[in-house]
Chains A and B, each alone.
Chain A
Amino acid sequence: MMTWTQEHPMTIVGLVLWAVGILWLMPGRRASKPRPHKIGVLIVALGLVTFCLSCGKTQSELADDVMFWVFAIGALMSGVLMITARNPVYAALWFALATLSTCGLFLLQHAPFLAAATIIVYAGAVIVTFLFVIMLAQQSGAAGYDQRSSQSLLATISAFVLLGAISLTLQSEKIDIVRPVVVAADSSADSAPIAGNMSLTFNLSPEPPVIVPVMPGNVMSKAKGKTPVGNLKGLGKSLFGDYLFAVELAGTLLLVASIGAIAIAPRREQGAI
């Protein structure tokens, strides 16, 4: 009993919410002012969803599930609200929220460095620059072109046909992935290798699993010896080992882009913006 309550707290929360909602909706003993109906329906729905989602799941699985759904719904809803926002400032802020949710999904995929870098680059630089440009260019309130969209029916239909095709392909085909064999980092050679488990728990331990190189295919993406996967060390080894020239090229690209941005941007002598 005690272990069950400790392992399934969300189930109990769901049951309690369900009961509270039924009590809320019940007509009272005294003929008093009726309670608002919508709140009771909301409480019952919340309890039911919590109970159904938490059935037959342990706490860590449930935590992963809840975090995934929070971040996924956050990203998709922020995207919808961003592309439908009438005010471009609100659109930029919704985009920032979508970026943060995407970074949460990166964290769930064992990419903490990438999440931090994306937050720094997007929320720190891109959003601020966009907001500056919006406020420079739109000083006179709402513009007519923000209130109307062009060809929204065609664009939405074709985009959702594309999304349906992607979903169909992802969910109908049995795609075989050659999974590498993961052994523990400190295990000796004679220990039995465990098949690669793809659990979504945070893997921030100092001893990450290393990959025994069994992957065919791309020479670059072959796991090399004791290269750890998913943390900063492995990413740095991959970036500055396999992709050193690409990193130099990316630096050159940044330089060229900054020079180009300075050259393209209007000068102040030619007229104030």
Chain B
Amino acid sequence: MTPDEQRFLLVGAGLFVLGAIGFLTRRNLILMVLSAELMLHGVSLTLVTFGNMHQTNEGQAFTIFTLTVAACEAGLALSLVLSLYRKSHSLDIQLWSELRESDMSGPDFDSSAERGKLSSYDDIPTLTPAGIAPKDPPRTTPSTGPTATRV
């Protein structure tokens, strides 16, 4: 490996790591997707360098497939972000930490004002705790329930 190839690989690794930092730290949903795209740039640069190193076309061919998958990912991620935004009216990722299992501790919220913003939405799915059998939900008797009078 010549130093010329080494420095290209190092730039690719640097781009990947920067994208990883952005993905882990930023709380904006769109910025997280953008950081994932930056990681893909690093991978593409590494692939092209490998292909150039071995004098084959495979590196560039793989990068084209990476490009295809990145385009698919961007489209799907943006539509997911839009549907999440419709539910919470915010792009904050930490509002969705309520989707965790109920016996796990959540992330530390910076401000308690943003907490509980989602509690008014009842259609968010909740996970049953793993390992422990959930209790039976309390049942209303069918004679007193409102459904009995309708039938």
Which A residues lie at the B interface, using CB under 8 A?
68, 72, 75-76, 79-80, 82-83, 88, 91-92, 95, 98-99, 102, 105-106, 108-111, 113-114, 117-118, 121-122, 125-126, 129-130, 133-134, 136-138, 143-146, 148-152, 155-156, 159-160, 162-163, 166-167, 170-171, 174-175, 177-180, 182, 196, 198, 200, 211, 215, 218, 220-221, 223, 227, 229-230, 234-235, 237-239, 242-243, 246, 250, 253-254, 256-258, 260-262, 264-266, 270-271, 273
Supplied contacts A109-B8, A182-B55, 13 more A-B pairs, CB within 8 Å = A75-B15, A82-B22, A82-B35, A95-B38, A126-B70, A133-B81, A149-B26, A177-B1, A198-B52, A215-B54, A229-B55, A235-B60, A237-B57
Q: Chain A residues with Cβ under 8 A from B20's Cβ?
A: 155, 159, 162
Give 15 CB contacts A-B under 8 Å: A88-B28, A91-B34, A130-B33, A136-B82, A146-B28, A150-B110, A155-B24, A156-B21, A171-B6, A198-B53, A242-B61, A250-B68, A253-B69, A261-B79, A265-B79
User: Residues on B close to A: CB < 8 A?
Assistant: 1-2, 4-11, 13-15, 17-22, 24-28, 30-31, 33-35, 37-38, 41, 44-45, 48-49, 51-58, 60-61, 63-65, 67-76, 78-83, 85-86, 90-94, 107-108, 110-111, 114
* Given A106-B45, A235-B60, A264 and B83 contact (CB-CB distance below 8 Å): yes
Q: Which residues of B contact A150 (CB under 8 A)?
A: 25, 27, 94, 107-108, 110
Nearest B residue (CB) for A110? B52
Given A114-B63, A159-B24, A220-B58, also A130-B92 (CB < 8 A): no
Q: How far is A110 from B56 in the complex, measured between Cα atoms in Å?
A: 11
Structural contact, B92 and A143, CB atoms closer than 8 A: yes
- The B interface, classified by DSSP as helix, strand, loop or mixed, is helix
From known contacts A92-B34, A254-B68, infer whether A162 and B4 are also in contact, taking CB-CB under 8 Å.
no
Q: Shortest Cβ distance from B35 into chain A, in angstroms?
A: 6
Selected from A99, A113, A262, the residue in CB contact (under 8 A) with B41 is: A99
A75 to B39, CA, bound (A): 12
